[in-house]
Structure 1
């Protein structure tokens, strides 16, 4: 297939993406014309709205782990009885992503995003009101379906709206996701019950046993609502507000944001090349998300473990975890500006170089943890700072090489969700008896991630980057044809 034919098909898909009321229109753009001011402003407003949705997504993902002991206590159950909730959430997340990826070429993007957000909000509202374990799993599944759907739709919509300039916008969206994850523990802490661990020697036993006791369920004054429902309701309020703004955009601008199937460029990419890129993306996100979850989950445990662990107090170990999360937020914020000056490949190379240096420092931990413990704190910050912008950079990199539609995004989400469930398993089994296994697995995952990146770059060199108008559409060179109804009435 010639490059000329490829460019024609790529441009056709771009022109068909935004249509007013779903009807074909002629392209009214010339090289010297400028996008309509009102619709340009709406594009920025839509991006800001998606950012608020990512803030709610980050908070929704984080609140479950924080509130799990309180929810278990409210049910008169144990955490062991609710331990399968992470698997249920991962399954729901993947299912929601695949549903959204399948429908994105048939259903309006704004409608899909709104339904996903409402599903998340409904799950957030119902979860603190649960009456039994079965309903807890159902509520988690409802919210996780919306999480997977929204992540898929929002990322793909961003790529379609901004095209080759989507790098900084993706970093902007994921900054709000990281910010939501970072602030949720501090916001939710006053509304969570304390869990007390102590030892006692029963009269009929000579051995000490560990007993866990919870505070009684606390309720909001003059209501039957448990206190833990406050952070859940606040998150649901954020998600509902974002949904309302999306509906306003749909009604006011009459956009039919549906990917055109008339001339899909996937047929010009080559099946083998496209599937090869998706295969490598699957495993890259499998390792990357799994590594992040392992590090953030077991860092606190490593901090409080006796030598050769850090043997810190619980407060100091919590501070160590805070260093990681805030380094993620800072790195993600700076990535918004870096991505305007550097290509995704250069940012990824720098990020993975930092991850590789951190992995080496982790391996040498036994040599310096007694003489220079501050070096480990620096390593923790380096891991967070270096890994934060990888996700968005990989999406941007992939969109320059294949048509990154909803199904491609679903493959990435599936790989990340599977890694989140699988890679922590060996660390969880070994960390109690072999504390340093946490460091060895983190280093191994980091080196595998770097190897996968090199494989992706090498494979991508077998086919040149897409030319001409990018698909997702580079709308800076197109007149957005979804003008507001108000302006149409004025002109009419």
Structure 2
């Protein structure tokens, strides 16, 4: 007897339910397996992030040790600080060269190996610096260590984006936190190995004036050796960098990860040359003024503190405390940025940062009006600028990556702008601060307002085309969701 149409339809529905149920269960099992797989695949990324953070910590130590050890190194060379005043240009030039070398090599060499190579170059420069015998060697060693810093920063920033994709916000903030922390820890590491230096009331270590040194012109050596005592912190930093290099090489051997370079190169073609170059030029100037402003601030803050009215007329100890407070707020701000980046977009964090820095800059301009009545307000102003400005660097990286692909060449452009700003923008303040101490406040405020204006122009230009499509740079979770959607669309076809 032939089945009725109703019975036949009922049988088909039952079969469909069974098939859908089995497929749904299979999908749930597959999703669970994929979740476990993603958790396991993320573990090597965490290892790489910790290793990169250790490299940033070593880079912070390397960058900060120069200013602290410069008076002692000048005594060892039987010179004055004036004679070594070109060291900032040598350091900035090395930074630029290292960044561009990294940008050129990123398409030819593995980024994981490049990071270790640039750390090795940095370590060689660090080891040789305190044992040099003449000015030329001192400049060469400084440029060599800076070359390693510029190359490593370029490689590590881009490698972080490659490893984490759209999840890179807190990781990149984490890396830059360790850089700030390393800079803040350097005085504690090195102060026991530096010569005692006495300055006139109107001079500081960072000014171009000649310092009068109370220590003996003879070199202070490590006991029973011919190695200068100032070499100890340098050797400690070099030893730490060696451990980081070994860690990176071990991770390369046992926890190697694939990057998305070829995929990113395809997205570059989609962005358009004119649009991409326009953003790169604007971001270059952003980094130029941002880094130049920050270097000007912490280079001449001590000088402003010890200068008599209209300066602060503080003692050396109080001025040093003002500098320490500035760096502490920088470290705290960078630490909190790790958590803020998980809840807020880079654009929102940048907006808050620029508002804070802008308010601080206005308060700098108003300094003559309130200092006698409320001197604590100046300390609050410096703390606000340090706290607000610390996360701008990483946030600009992350924000720009939403509009164009950040590869090694793009990162090199950014770091080139930062290095040039560090060399150029402090120069007018250095020339004027001796006779016009308030020029320090005026230039810092001018640099900040220019920075905010360029950022607004950059936002306006970037919005002409909009953010990149998420499928241009998907992470594993996005791919999984896409596969599930496709599976949902195909199931009814197989059942029918």
1:483 maps to none
1:17 maps to none
C-alpha distance in 1 between matches for 2:212 and 2:162: 54
Change (3 A) 1:245 1:372: same
> CA offset at residue 136 of structure 1?
1.1
Q: Does 1:312 align with 2:314?
A: yes
SS in 2 for 1:264: helix
2:245 maps to 243
- Which of 428, 431, 434 does residue 433 from structure 2 map onto? 431
Q: Does 1:145 align with 2:108?
A: no
> CA offset at residue 295 of structure 1?
0.6
- Which of 53, 73, 76 does residue 75 from structure 2 map onto? 73
Which string of whole-angstrom CA distances, capped at 9 and with x for unpartnered residues, describes residues 55-82 of structure 1?
0001101101111111111112222222
1:101 maps to 103
C-alpha distance in 1 between matches for 2:320 and 2:281: 37
- Which of 335, 338, 352 does residue 337 from structure 2 map onto? 335
C-alpha distance in 2 between matches for 1:254 and 1:434: 56
CA contact (8 A) 2:87 2:142 kept: yes
- Which of 450, 460, 465 does residue 458 from structure 1 map onto? 460
1:252 maps to 254
Change (3 A) 1:251 1:56: same
State how 1:369-380 maps to structure 2 within 5 Å. Answer: 369-380=371-382
CA contact (8 A) 2:264 2:405 kept: no
CA contact (8 A) 1:162 1:475 kept: no
CA contact (8 A) 1:49 1:245 kept: yes
1:128 maps to 130
> CA offset at residue 265 of structure 1?
1.4
1:401 maps to 403
2:296 maps to 294
1:474 maps to 475
C-alpha distance in 2 between matches for 1:258 and 1:361: 45
CA contact (8 A) 2:357 2:384 kept: yes
CA contact (8 A) 1:345 1:397 kept: yes
Q: Does 1:85 align with 2:82?
A: no
Q: Which runs of 5+ in 1 are unaligned?
A: 1-29, 200-208, 480-492
CA contact (8 A) 1:108 1:257 kept: no
SS in 2 for 1:110: helix
Change (3 A) 1:157 1:365: same
C-alpha distance in 1 between matches for 2:428 and 2:262: 44
Taking structure 2 as the reference length, the TM-score comes to: 0.85
C-alpha distance in 2 between matches for 1:284 and 1:210: 35
1:442 maps to 444
- Which of 109, 112, 115 does residue 114 from structure 2 map onto? 112
CA contact (8 A) 1:108 1:258 kept: no
1:224 maps to 226
Q: Which runs of 5+ in 2 are unaligned?
A: 1-29, 202-209, 481-496
C-alpha distance in 1 between matches for 2:472 and 2:273: 19
C-alpha distance in 1 between matches for 2:183 and 2:200: 30
SS in 2 for 1:126: helix
> CA offset at residue 218 of structure 1?
1.5
State how 1:34-49 maps to structure 2 within 5 Å. Answer: 34=35, 35-49=37-51
1:389 maps to 391
C-alpha distance in 2 between matches for 1:436 and 1:314: 19
SS in 2 for 1:342: coil
Higher-Rg structure is 2
TM-align CA RMSD? 1.9
CA contact (8 A) 1:109 1:157 kept: yes
Higher RCO (CA 8 Å, separation ≥ 6 residues): 1
1:52 maps to 54
Structure with the higher helix share, 1 or 2: 2
Taking structure 1 as the reference length, the TM-score comes to: 0.86
SS in 1 for 2:261: coil
Which string of whole-angstrom CA distances, capped at 9 and with x for unpartnered residues, describes residues 73-128 of structure 1?
11122222221111111111111100111111110011100000000111111111
Change (3 A) 1:89 1:459: same
SS in 1 for 2:341: helix
Which string of whole-angstrom CA distances, capped at 9 and with x for unpartnered residues, describes residues 158-208 of structure 1?
011111111111110000000011110122111101123479xxxxxxxxx
C-alpha distance in 1 between matches for 2:237 and 2:296: 25
C-alpha distance in 2 between matches for 1:423 and 1:223: 42
SS in 2 for 1:464: coil
